Amino acid sequence: MLLSIVLPVYNEQEVLPALFAALPPVLERIGCSYELIFIDDGSRDSTRSILNEHAAKDDRIKVLAFSRNFGQQAAITAGLDFANGDAVVVMDADLQDPPELLETMVEQFKKGFDVVSTQRISREGESIFKKATANAFYSFMKKAVDERLPAQCGDFRLFSRGAVQAIRKFREQHRFMRGLVAWLGLRETIVRFHRPARAAGETKYPPWKLVKLAWTAISSFSAMPLRICLSAGIMLTSFGLAYSVYAIYAAIFIKSTTPGWSSLVCFQLLFNGATLTAVGLVGDYVGRIYDEAKQRPLYVLGDSVNVDSSGCAHRVVWINPPDATEAEAPHVFRFEEAKANPARYRKSA
Ligand code: UDP
Ligand code: MG
């Protein structure tokens, strides 16, 4: 049996030594052959060179390097595209997904499950704010998106080869892997674990990125926000109509038409705000449809080590490989020279 481990990495130079110390011994213990597929998601620190060093020594360590940062979900997609294993595990590189759990996950896989998900019983080293927002997110997703979305399950998951083949067929731009898995309805079991704090380095998910991921999750699986808008719109319009009837009645019969300037302003703001929010929301969905219509690749590979990626349609050949000579990349040399000698290349007035 071949076990593939897919590890998206983005600026993880601090944590990689700990990962390389912890992961291989666990895999040796499990006793099956394995491959580690690292997806370098456009890191700007020395992640790349650390990975290349390990890959040079061991051809079971494979590296796919993106041309820029495409995000963790795209990195997972690339990993699943290139994994050859009978079982494929997706895990974070920061040891928050404990490698020791792999043994249990493989046992469950051998029992015949297509997907082995992991559920966090506790979360160490995370702020109360993050825990609270995560809880709110999971319960909303369960109600709005899919009943089968288990709470507190991240992307740390084992897939059978069949499950991977099914997932590979989904090429949508705005991806939320957990949602896809729930949607597919594969035979799934859950292993529970205590999630430790990051072994080193910092989280790559600042709050705005989490909000973006949450919104992708909601909007790519549910039209509920649009329906909420519609209901709110109907409610506000009914209220407006009722108020108009009352205003006409008051003007004709009670003759108490006090200058209702302030209430008018309030209603104007309320209704205009609601309209703009609804239009913005629809605009966001339309934007997402536009993204899908373009059918762009989900990621672009820069290069790869120990993986044959020549067949990958979305691959760029570096114009400026680090060891290029002046004859091979004259424009790069000119650019470097211009940076060093700005005076020489300044535009004449
Ligand atoms: N990651 C990535 N691309 C990104 C952000 C994160 O490949 O744009 C990787 C990161 O290197 C890590 C995993 O995704 O291996 C999870 O990220 P992180 O640990 O920062 O998230 P958290 O655990 O804080 O939610
Ligand atoms: Mg983490």
What pTM did the predictor assign?
A: 0.82
* Structure confidence by residue, pLDDT tens digits, 125-174: 888 888 888 888 888 888 877 787 888 899 999 999 999 999 999 999 88
Name the token pair of 2.
């071949």
Token pair listed for 122: 């506790």
Best residue for ligand 1 mutational test, from 7, 9, 10 (most atoms within 8 Å of Cβ): 10
- Asked if residue 98 and residue 187 are part of one domain, the reply reads yes
Top mean-pLDDT range of 9-18, 194-203, 225-234: 9-18
Of 119, 97, 71, 92, nearest to 217 by C-alpha is 71
For ligand 1, atom 16, which residue shows the shortest CA distance? 92
Are residues 185 and 206 both part of a single domain?
yes
Residues written for the chain:
349
Average pLDDT over every residue of 169-193: 90
* Residue bearing the bigger pLDDT, 262 or 43: 43
Q: What would the two tokens of residue 302 be?
A: 């820069």
Whether residue 88 is predicted with pLDDT greater than 80 in this model: the reply is: yes
Assess whether 69 and 196 both reside in one domain. yes
- Which residue has a Cα nearest atom 24 of ligand 1? 203
pLDDT at position 339: 59
- Report the range of poorest mean pLDDT among 3-17, 294-308, 312-326: 312-326
Q: How confident is the model at residue 108 (pLDDT cuts 50, 70, 90)?
A: very high
Among the three residues 221, 249, 275, which one is the final residue of a domain in this structure? Answer: 221
The number of domains in the chain is 2
Say if 320 falls within a structural domain: no
Which of 205, 221, 237 lies at the terminal end of a domain, its last residue? 221
H/E stretch holding 127 reads none
Residue 305 lies in a domain: no
Centre of ligand 1 from the C-alpha of residue 40, in Å: 11
The verdict on 141 and 177 lying in the same domain is yes
Which of 72, 211, 299 has most ligand 1 atoms within 8 Å of its beta carbon, as the pocket-test mutant? 72
What φ, ψ does residue 347 adopt, rounded to 5°?
Answer: -65, 140
Asked if residue 311 has pLDDT above 80, the reply is no
Atom of ligand 1 nearest to the CA of 75: 7
Task: Give the pLDDT score at 87.
Answer: 98
Q: What would the DSSP string read from start to end of 162-216?
A: HHHHHHHT---SS--HHHHHHHHT--EEEEEEEEPPPSSS--S--HHHHHHHHHH
- Residue 65: strand, helix, or coil: strand
> Would you call 89 helix, strand, or coil by DSSP?
strand
On whether both 173 and 117 belong to a single domain, the answer is yes
Probe ligand 1: pick from 43, 204, 213, 216, max atoms within 8 Å of CB? 204
Q: Provide φ and ψ at 225, rounded to 5°.
A: -55, -35
Query: Residues 328-345: what's their mean pLDDT?
Result: 56
Residues 123 and 158 placed together within one structural domain of the fold: yes
Q: Are residues 129 and 154 in the same domain?
A: yes
Q: Are residues 162 and 237 in the same domain?
A: no
Q: What is the reported pLDDT for 330? A: 54
Using a 6 Å CB cutoff, which residues line ligand 1? 8-10, 12, 41, 69, 71-72, 75, 92-94, 96, 203-205
Same domain, 34 and 102: yes
Going by the DSSP 8-state scheme, the letter that residue 346 receives in this structure is: P
Mark which of 180, 203, 221 sits at the end of a domain. Answer: 221
What CATH number corresponds to the domain at position 141?
3.90.550.10
Domain match, 206 and 251 both? no
**Per DSSP, which regions of 105-172 are E strands?**
115-123, 153-160
Six token digits for residue 31: 């006793």
Cα-to-centroid distance, 220 and ligand 2 (Å): 24
Proximal ligand: closest to the CA of 92: 1
- Please give the distance, rounded to the nearest whole angstrom, from the Cα atom of residue 125 to the centre of ligand 1: 15
Which ligand ends up closest to the CA of 91? 1
Section 255-271 average pLDDT:
77
Q: What is the CA radius of gyration of the chain?
A: 26
Residue at 279 is within a domain? yes
What is the average pLDDT score of the chain?
Answer: 87
Closest ligand to the CA of 12: 1
In a domain? residue 345:
no
Name the residue range of residue 279's domain. 224-294
